[in-house]
């Protein structure tokens, strides 16, 4: 007779084993209610054919099947966690690691610097689909993964839907996961983006924006995804979006994106654009990198509550783990009819971001040291480089002009902008869209004006200065 051992302490009640058993050997134990679930019981062991489908598919190794011709260790003999994609790095939390790329000066493309930043942050899983102008990230990751020690997984998926889905699964297997895309791809990802938000799955999504909508102009720059990356998923939530303006920041902000994703258990979007992604510049790689490694739970600690940012377990390490896109309680059980569970879940998903703005927000000011400004330019990404040039033109013409640049664009750094706008007579927002960030700036400065451009070309400094000059006059 086959021996079926069920570790009821590890069983989480997913009932995969019950559904896959071809002989209906396993059933739900309706008489017992352990740890808030009905565990599985071997009701008809005589009918077992030792196919071991239950054992192979159990996500928490709670079932062991042995029989003639089959050598399977008993559950008590395999207390060590199953080898996952990547063992949880030690120590957890903030730590300093050596740079995988030798320290020194490099001449890289922005997309290449993004790939190097991901590797430096500990990325060991990449799933993606080639799309201009983000394909170079995928190409660099593929080549570098093959050269680096340790187990790293690269996979080209069939589309962007599969890419973000694979990253979500890899994150729950213990990996630091990333994907990269552009406008049409981010549109396909938003459903799974919402799933990653409600399941509190840390991952990094790089959006190298291009001219749109739809397929648009694949190789031309744009910044029309500003609102989409914030509001693309439905429901109430908060998300973190970063915006680099140089090759150096494609490296450092990618590292920051991973750190924030792991720190707050949230998907983080790096909102680049074609101008930055295809730009080539010098950057300096430091010898060490500061990274945040995921914190795992202690015994009997809920994976979806108990503290603002709960520790995250890994499939296959013995936790009774349920991951669902439905409203759930702190243990992951679906509570789709509970007003209390819905209110508490959405409140915590938002509060873990809004209560930690000091850790998340980042912005820069340039030429703003005067007691008062005639003109404050506000811009992000590649366009901010042109805006800084326009501010210098204004200075040469005798006007006191400066630049405010958010590096974190969501949550929007409203208080930092308010502080510098308070001493500015005029505020002009420059962006490669038709006024998406302008709407957010006007929440702080109602009379702010905008200069937008959507012809698939970058905005030159002279164009911004020309728009500002008419207003100053």
pLDDT digit string, tens, across residues 75-114: 344 334 334 444 444 457 999 999 999 999 999 999 999 9
Domains 93-293 and 361-472 share a fold: yes
Q: What's the DSSP call for residue 334?
A: B
pLDDT over 90 (residue 298): no
Whether domain 3-77 has CATH 3.30.420.40: the reply is no
Across 438-451, average pLDDT: 97
For 239: left if phi > 0, alpha if psi spans -120 to 50, otherwise beta; the answer is beta
Tell me which architecture the domain covering 93-293 has in CATH: 3-Layer(aba) Sandwich (3.40)
Across 273-297, average pLDDT: 95
Look-up: residue for tokens 């499939």? 315
pLDDT at 71: 42
Across 361-381, average pLDDT: 97
> pLDDT tens digits, residue range 391-401?
999 999 999 99
CB atoms within 10 A of CB 301: 15
Q: What does the alpha-carbon distance between residue 407 and residue 379 come to, in Å, rounded to a whole number?
A: 10
> pLDDT tens digits, residue range 186-218?
999 999 999 999 999 999 999 999 999 999 998
Q: Where are the domains of the chain?
A: 3-77, 93-293, 361-472
Q: 370 preceded by cis ω (within 30°)? A: no
CB atoms within 10 A of CB 57: 14
Whether domain 361-472 has CATH 3.40.50.920: the reply is yes
């Amino acid at each position: 007779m086959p021996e079926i051992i069920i570790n009821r302490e590890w069983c989480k009640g997913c009932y995969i084993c019950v559904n896959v058993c071809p002989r209906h050997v396993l059933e739900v134990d309706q008489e017992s209610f352990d740890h808030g679930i009905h565990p599985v019981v071997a009701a008809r062991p005589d009918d077992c054919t030792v196919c071991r489908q239950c054992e192979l598919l159990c996500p928490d190794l709670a079932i062991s099947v042995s029989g003639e011709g089959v050598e399977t260790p008993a559950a008590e003999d395999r207390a060590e966690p199953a080898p996952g994609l990547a063992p949880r790095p030690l120590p957890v939390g903030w730590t300093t690691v050596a740079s995988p790329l030798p320290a020194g000066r490099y001449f890289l493309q922005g997309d290449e610097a993004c790939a190097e930043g991901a590797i430096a942050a500990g990325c060991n899983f990449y799933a993606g689909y080639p799309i201009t102008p983000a394909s170079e990230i995928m190409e660099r990751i593929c080549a570098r993964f093959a050269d680096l020690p340790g187990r790293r997984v690269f996979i080209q998926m069939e589309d962007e839907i599969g890419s973000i889905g694979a990253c979500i699964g890899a994150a729950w297997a213990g990996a630091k996961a990333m994907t990269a895309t552009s406008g049409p791809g981010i549109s396909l990802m938003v459903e799974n983006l919402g799933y990653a938000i409600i399941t509190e799955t840390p991952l990094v999504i790089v959006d190298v924006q291009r001219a749109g909508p739809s397929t648009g102009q694949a190789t031309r720059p744009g910044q029309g995804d500003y609102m989409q990356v914030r509001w693309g998923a439905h429901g109430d939530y908060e998300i973190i979006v970063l915006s680099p303006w140089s090759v150096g920041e494609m490296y450092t902000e990618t590292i920051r994106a991973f750190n924030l994703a792991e720190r707050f258990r949230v998907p983080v979007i790096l909102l680049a654009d074609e101008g930055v992604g295809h730009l080539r510049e010098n950057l300096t790689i430091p010898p060490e990198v500061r990274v945040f490694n995921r914190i795992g739970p202690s015994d009997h600690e809920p994976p979806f509550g108990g503290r603002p940012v709960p520790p995250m377990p890994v499939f296959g390490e013995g936790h009774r783990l349920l991951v669902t896109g439905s409203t759930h309680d702190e243990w992951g059980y679906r509570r789709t009819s509970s007003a209390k569970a819905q209110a508490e879940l959405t409140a915590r998903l938002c509060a873990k971001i809004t209560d930690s703005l000091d850790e998340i927000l980042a912005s820069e000011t340039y030429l703003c040291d005067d007691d008062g400004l005639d003109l404050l330019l506000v811009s992000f990404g590649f366009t901010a480089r042109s805006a800084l040039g326009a501010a210098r033109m204004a200075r040469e013409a005798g006007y006191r002009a400066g630049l405010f640049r958010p590096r974190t664009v969501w949550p929007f750094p409203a208080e930092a902008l308010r502080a510098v706008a308070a001493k500015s007579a005029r505020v002009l927002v420059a962006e490669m869209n038709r006024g998406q960030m302008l709407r957010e700036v006007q929440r702080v400065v109602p009379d702010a004006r905008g200069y937008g451009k959507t012809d698939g070309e970058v905005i030159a400094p002279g164009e911004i200065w020309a728009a500002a000059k008419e207003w100053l006059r």
